[in-house]
Structure 1
Amino acid sequence: MADPRVIGTEAVEDARRRGRIVFELLPGDIVTALARETAERLGVTLVDGPLERQQPQRTDAAISMQRVLYRRSPKWVAPVRTKRKARRLGKLALIGAGGVGGNIAHLAAMQDIADEIALIDIVPGMAAATALDLNHTTGITGARARCIGGESLDLVTGAEVVVVTAGLARRPGMSRADLIDVNARVIRQAAEAIRSAAPNAIVIVVTNPLDEMTFEMLRATAFPRERVLGMAGTLDSSRFRNALAVAAGVCPADVEAFTLGSHGDEMAPISSRAKIKGRALDVFLSSDQIDACVQDAVTGGGQVVSLKKSGSATIAPAHASIELIDHIRGARTGPVPVSVMLQGEYGIDGVVLGVAAHLGSTGLIEVEELRLTDQEQAALHEAADAIRSRLGL
């Protein structure tokens, strides 16, 4: 027969630390007087056991099979994601009030993301006009956010999150890499203002070429890597999911897929981990169809540029930026693809690259290293080498 347990004050305190308010005493247990006093003081109830356990719910095998088959049928609809209680930002600043910046401001105001939204643009009157236009909508929408706009970078003062979209946009025939020299000057100017006027801000870079400009922002602000992020994989992943959904004839909500690597020709859509209705891609699509979807994700931005003739995508990048902000303020959880400075993850160091990561109120929490195929792992290293080469590292 086993020796009786002696329940002391340590056991009661440990139970309370674990969030338990009921402590079960088994037959033969010896409870010290000090343990009883501690339990009373901490609000822990000592209950004689054994307590009756709730029996696990058992499901008939036939019903379980019906549920599995229904989920695989075209009639199955993905459950609606419930929004978490999120922190409201005090101030959101947008450097660049063009197509992307203006759309971010509109979405942020409609979703009640911040008390104040500051728009900044070098074009006289553009930021102020957009801010006034958004304020005029509040009589209809009831949005609480107040928008301000101007040409001075001093408007970033006190911002918790700064999104940088300013810079020369692509034209047909241009690659993102063609913009490095001109947009690096824009980034350095913005970085100087952020470092002095919003020293505790989290910075999200949208300016192209995105990974290179995120690296430049990190270097110019001297902020820790946790507070300088690049919006890339969020947009590329959305394009990949859209292509897979169209090819399979399903709702995009039924598709789970990530795109990592660079925001350019070296991006790496991760087909091995992508799923449609919880199943591998090859259940729904042929290898040629999957390859076509990968190519569609890689060239998605170029397709928009080609159609517009002047300028690049504005709506999808704005939604992708809001997704990152939602992760920062706690409206969303889980891994999200984002460009960050790598410090040994995936065997890569000293370069900004798109990876799956967890974000929070302080920015980057941790990089989640996904299990990749050898080919996908090689693609990440090729992307890192290409970015180093373009930056002359």
Structure 2
Amino acid sequence: MALALPYLGIISYCSGDYNPQKGGFELNINPSKVVIIGSGFVGSSIAYATLIQGLCTELVLIDSNQDKAEGEVMDLSHGLPYTSPMEIRAGQYGDCRGANVIVITAGSHQKPGQTRMDLAQQNVEILRSILNQVLQVEQKAIFLLVTNPVDVLTTIARTYPELKAYRVIGSGTVLDTARFRYILGNRCQLSPGNIHAYVVGEHGDSEVPLFSSVSVAGTPISLLCRECSGLCGADYQKQVTAEVRKAAYEIINRKGATYYGIGLSCTRILRAILHDERSVLTVSALLDDQYKELEVALSVPSVLGKEGILRRLPLSMDDAENEQFLKSVQTLQESVRQVKFK
């Protein structure tokens, strides 16, 4: 019998059974362990959101700069009096043993004069170094890849035979989908949480917002647009698509990096996994399913639970969106070709 204890914030891993001999319920705490590799802006944002949402009982931060990881752990730990019980510590790769989910955010940032593909190759090598060490101690965990280019790195990670396909997950377009819903919510003056809309394909400039399937309370957005007398204009889809695709650039131009949005997006993925929600999120993956022939990891609506990706859903697209989606696939295929076999 499950006990709802929202005020404790531990409903995700707490259950109880009635013990007649003791005349009451006994609580059973189901431990869950999350390891975050990379404690920079993104990794620490994921750790902070994980803490305040009470998503696990054990949180480990690993970084090549041990002092940085320890500093983040100290800072986070000082908030524990106001959150759910959780063990937070800095660790080494050996501490990945027994993890439910291993989140990889470690990687290089693009340097002046460095091409996107040079950066991709550098981060591929960093990923390989990490996986070679982690897989010596843990092979059953779900791996959540966040480092960019995330679809390329997710494709590379799938080449490791030790890893099951449905447990290698990229953060994909979960953040892009959130941006899409937020922008539409602003335009429609609705809560973005009530807008059902998805971005698919590459996490990058070729990503595809699916306007044809956007709905609010079962009502297609095209019907809502008629009610507001075309205030958005005839080319609003192009405007919204540009806003979604350029969002990261706009943030970086103003503050140097993006991390809160991706931090919350990744904890949304963690929650779906650790709570076994069977929620639909646009994560990136390469599975033996209807998208296998595309041969790259890419984002489509996927059902997430405690075992990883349970299944991926078929896409509902109009002809124009399908054409854009195939171009996005080609973009990813070319990127993978440039780094995969070096």
Q: TM-score normalised to the size of structure 1?
A: 0.73
Provide the secondary structure at the position in 1 that maps to 2:32.
Answer: strand
Q: Which residue of 1 aligns with 2:255?
A: 308
8 A Cα contact 2:58 2:88, kept in partner: yes
Q: Which residue of 1 aligns with 2:319?
A: 374
- Which among 272, 287, 305 is matched to residue 360 of structure 1? 305
- Which among 269, 272, 278 is matched to residue 327 of structure 1? 272
Structure 2 residue runs of 5 or longer lacking an equivalent are 1-8, 14-29, 226-231
- % same residue: 24
8 A Cα contact 1:177 1:209, kept in partner: no
**RMSD of Structure 2 on Structure 1 (CA):** 2.3
Q: State the alpha-carbon separation in 2 of the partners of residues 361 and 352 from structure 1.
A: 20
Give the direction of change, closer, same or farther, for the CA distance of 1:241–1:142 in structure 2 (3 Å limit). closer
Q: Which residue of 1 aligns with 2:228?
A: none
Deviation at 1:194, TM superposition (A): 2.4
Deviation at 1:207, TM superposition (A): 0.2
Q: State the alpha-carbon separation in 1 of the partners of residues 83 and 253 from structure 2.
A: 38
Instruction: Establish whether residue 236 from structure 1 lines up as the match of residue 176 from structure 2.
Output: yes
Provide the secondary structure at the position in 1 that maps to 2:279.
Answer: coil
Q: State the alpha-carbon separation in 2 of the partners of residues 221 and 133 from structure 1.
A: 38
Equivalenced residue count is 307
Q: State the alpha-carbon separation in 2 of the partners of residues 232 and 170 from structure 1.
A: 19
| Equivalent residue runs for 1:48-197 within 5 Å | 86-87=12-13, 90-139=32-81, 141-150=82-91, 152-170=92-110, 177-197=117-137
Give the direction of change, closer, same or farther, for the CA distance of 1:254–1:340 in structure 2 (3 Å limit). same
For each residue in 1:166-211, what CA deviation from the matched residue of structure 2 results, as whole angstroms up to 9, or x when unmatched?
1013468988655211111111011112212121100000000010
Q: Which residue of 1 aligns with 2:211?
A: 271
| Equivalent residue runs for 1:208-219 within 5 Å | 208-219=148-159
8 A Cα contact 1:169 1:208, kept in partner: no
Deviation at 1:391, TM superposition (A): 1.6
Give the direction of change, closer, same or farther, for the CA distance of 1:175–1:382 in structure 2 (3 Å limit). farther
| Equivalent residue runs for 1:288-307 within 5 Å | 288-307=235-254
8 A Cα contact 2:172 2:298, kept in partner: no
Structure 1 residue runs of 5 or longer lacking an equivalent are 1-82
Provide the secondary structure at the position in 2 that maps to 1:321.
Answer: helix
* Partner amino acid, structure 2, of 1:225: A
Q: State the alpha-carbon separation in 2 of the partners of residues 95 and 390 from structure 1.
A: 24
For each residue in 1:21-63, what CA deviation from the matched residue of structure 2 results, as whole angstroms up to 9, or x when unmatched?
xxxxxxxxxxxxxxxxxxxxxxxxxxxxxxxxxxxxxxxxxxx
* Partner amino acid, structure 2, of 1:136: H
For each residue in 1:224-271, what CA deviation from the matched residue of structure 2 results, as whole angstroms up to 9, or x when unmatched?
210100002211100111111122222222321111100011111111
8 A Cα contact 2:139 2:162, kept in partner: no
Q: State the alpha-carbon separation in 2 of the partners of residues 333 and 281 from structure 1.
A: 25
Q: State the alpha-carbon separation in 1 of the partners of residues 115 and 251 from structure 2.
A: 13
* Partner amino acid, structure 1, of 2:245: V
Higher relative contact order (CA 8 A, sep 6+): 2
For each residue in 1:268-322, what CA deviation from the matched residue of structure 2 results, as whole angstroms up to 9, or x when unmatched?
111111124543223234441222111111111122122224xx21011011111
* Partner amino acid, structure 2, of 1:86: S
Provide the secondary structure at the position in 2 that maps to 1:335.
Answer: strand
8 A Cα contact 1:343 1:350, kept in partner: no
Q: TM-score normalised to the size of structure 2?
A: 0.83
Q: State the alpha-carbon separation in 1 of the partners of residues 37 and 202 from structure 2.
A: 23
Give the direction of change, closer, same or farther, for the CA distance of 1:281–1:207 in structure 2 (3 Å limit). same
Q: State the alpha-carbon separation in 2 of the partners of residues 297 and 84 from structure 1.
A: 34
- Which among 332, 335, 341 is matched to residue 286 of structure 2? 341
Provide the secondary structure at the position in 1 that maps to 2:34.
Answer: strand
